[in-house]
Amino acid sequence: MPTTEEPEGPDGSEAPDARTGVSPTRGERRADRSGLAVAAVLLLACGAFVAYGVLDSGADPADERPATPTVEVTYEVLGEGAADISYRAAGDTAAVVPDAGLPWRKTVSVPLGAAPIVDVTLGERGGTASCTLTVGGRHVQRAIATGAFGRTTCSGDLPTPEASAAPEGAP
pLDDT in tens, the chain (171 residues): 555 555 555 555 566 666 766 666 665 555 667 777 777 777 776 666 666 666 655 655 555 667 889 999 999 999 999 999 999 998 778 999 999 999 999 999 999 988 999 999 999 999 999 999 999 999 999 999 999 999 999 999 988 777 555 555 544
CA–CA dist 84, 49 (Å, integer): 55
Q: Which residues does 73 contact at the CB level (< 8 Å), separation at least 6?
A: 88, 107, 108, 109, 110, 116, 133, 134, 135, 136
Name beta bridge partners: 146: 128
| H/E stretch holding 83 | strand 82-88
Please state which CATH class domain 68-160 belongs to: mainly beta
- The CATH 2.60.60 domain(s) of the chain lie at 68-160
CA–CA dist 79, 159 (Å, integer): 31
Give the strands of the sheet with 151-155, arranged side by side: 94-101, 82-88, 117-122, 151-155
Give the strands of the sheet with 104-111, arranged side by side: 104-111, 70-79, 128-135, 138-146
pLDDT at 141: 97
CA–CA dist 108, 105 (Å, integer): 10
CA–CA dist 38, 106 (Å, integer): 66
Beta strand 70-79 pairing with 104-111: antiparallel
